[in-house]
Amino acid sequence: MQAYAHFGRCKLFTGSIEEAIPLVEQAIRLSPRDTELGVWYQQIGDVHLLQSRTDEAITWLEKARNNTPEHPTIRADLAAAYALGGETERAAAELAEARRLSPDDRYSNIARSKAARNFGVLIPKIRTLFETTYFVGLRKAGMPEE
C-alpha cells in the first residue's frame, strides 16, 4: 500500500503530476485505515493545489488535517490553499498553527520553507508550479520572504 503512495510522490516530483493521484488513491483503497492516511490525503491535495484546482485542494487538505492535526506541513499546505481561495483569515490561522507545530523555523519565511522542502532539487516544471501556487499562497497567508 505504501509503495503506491511513494510511487505517486515520485511521479509528482519527477513531473508526471497527472499520474500521481490514481496511485495514491489506490494506496487509500488498499489500506483505508493506514497510519499514513493523512499524508496520502495531503499528497492528493498538493497535486490539486499545484494544478490550481484550489477547491479540490482545500477539500483534500482539510481531510488530511482532520486525520493528522499535528502535522505542520499539512497545516502549511492548507494555509496556502485557503489563501489562494481568498480565505485569508483561515490561511493565517493555519500558518500560525504550522509554525506552532513545527520543530524548527521552516515556516517563518519563504526562504526557510524552500530550504526545508528541498525546493532546489525539484525539476524546473514542478519548481515553477510550486512558485505559482504554493508559495504565492503562503505569501498571501502572511509569510514574509526573509
Q: Is residue 74 within 8 Å of 68, Cβ to Cβ? A: yes
Single out the residue of 66, 73, 79, 62 nearest to residue 102, CA to CA: 73
pLDDT at 61 over 90: yes
CATH of the domain at 102: 1.25.40.10
- Do the domain assignments include residue 118? yes
- Do the domain assignments include residue 108? yes
- Do the domain assignments include residue 60? yes
Domain extent, residue 68, equals: 35-140
- Do the domain assignments include residue 26? no
pLDDT at 133 over 90: yes
Mean pLDDT of 111-124: 88
Give the Cα separation of 48 and 44 in Å (integer): 6
- Do the domain assignments include residue 98? yes
- Do the domain assignments include residue 51? yes
The structural domain count of the chain equals: 1
Res 119: pLDDT = 81
